[in-house]
Amino acid sequence: MKPTISVIIPTYNRTVALAELLAALEQQTYQDFEVIIVNDAGKDISDVVALYPELTTKLLNLDKNSYHVKARNTGLAYAQGEYIMLIDDDDLILSTHMEKMLNEITGYDLVYSDVEIVNYRETESERIPINHYLFAYRMDLEAMRQFSTFVPSGCLYRKAIHEEIGIFDEAVRNYWDWDFFLRVAEKYRVKRVPVASVLYEFSETGNNQSKNLDKMRIYLDKLSQKHQLGELPTKNFFLLLKEPEVKEREAESKRIWDGKMIPSRLKL
């Protein structure tokens, strides 16, 4: 029998975080899903996958590092479920997340939740949360054309969507998720679920440092041309959150995380 949900996880040399994500999946209150892990030419992770034999897992190993968008498309080609759930290898979903999303998708084609943005300190076997804060914004389709507040990790959607809009666009690279949201929202029913049931790792010292913004400009321009978005800023993500037009989109959300991590079997 085919699973109801296919969880697609691209990964590259994040053993500790991946083990924690598999632990989170093992504790889901809804269990009719398969896990498709796409190793983007990173170090061998078969021993990490083997820690969770109760999960139905497909491990795909790419010979060449191809960036995470292609890795997602590779996973998509192997997905058997009616629905797709996307999760980055360094993000986590809380135990009721999958069940909640499946309940909420009735009458819709894509649902996504709010998130807790978390900064961690990492050891050899675990990540320890340093701080976290709520990321929750109204879904305003016109405003989403100027600044996307869609976080793809933990989103659930009907796989049949790809039959009409195609696969994830590798040409826009960093902005694949914004592009995907705009393409889906143009033709399908999208819903924001106001519960922060995803832990989203995002550091102010990570991919949004100014030295990376110039490299991202070419992909932002491609996105803008594709969707006729006009001139878009390449400001640091955290600075954009302070813009008045973004601040006014802030929304209430149910916060359910107790601040504790799910221990992975790497620690055993």
What pLDDT sits at residue 70? 97
What pLDDT sits at residue 236? 74
Q: Indicate the DSSP class of residue 175.
A: G
Which sign does the torsion angle of CA 147, 152, 158, 161 carry?
positive
Nearest to 8 by CA among 82, 75, 106, 59: 75
CA–CA gap between residue 145 and residue 175 (Å, rounded): 12
Task: List, as one string, the DSSP characters of 84-119.
Answer: EEE--TT-EE-TTHHHHHHHHTTT-SEEEEEEEEEE
Could you tell me the domains of the chain? Answer: 5-267 (3.90.550.10)
- CA-to-CA separations, 108 to 52, 103, 123, 187, 188, in angstroms, rounded: 32, 10, 40, 11, 8
The C-alpha angle with vertex 21 and arms to 15 and 24, in degrees rounded to 5, equals: 145
User: Residues in the chain, how many?
Assistant: 268
Nearest to 156 by CA among 86, 57, 247, 64: 86
What pLDDT sits at residue 186? 97
What pLDDT sits at residue 211? 57
CA–CA gap between residue 102 and residue 104 (Å, rounded): 5
* Averaged pLDDT in 10-residue chunks for the chain of 268 residues: 95 97 99 98 97 98 93 98 98 99 99 98 95 96 95 98 98 96 98 99 62 82 96 81 92 98 86
Which sign does the torsion angle of CA 182, 186, 192, 197 carry?
negative
Q: Which amino acid, one-letter code, is at 227?
A: H
CA atoms within 13 A on the CB side of 213: 13
Q: Which amino acid, one-letter code, is at 253?
A: S
Q: Does residue 10 contact residue 86 with C-beta atoms inside 8 Å?
A: no
CA–CA gap between residue 139 and residue 129 (Å, rounded): 28
What pLDDT sits at residue 155? 99
Q: What is the pTM of this model?
A: 0.95
What pLDDT sits at residue 208? 44
What pLDDT sits at residue 214? 76
Instruction: At 144, list the tokens.
Output: 């989403």
What pLDDT sits at residue 234? 78
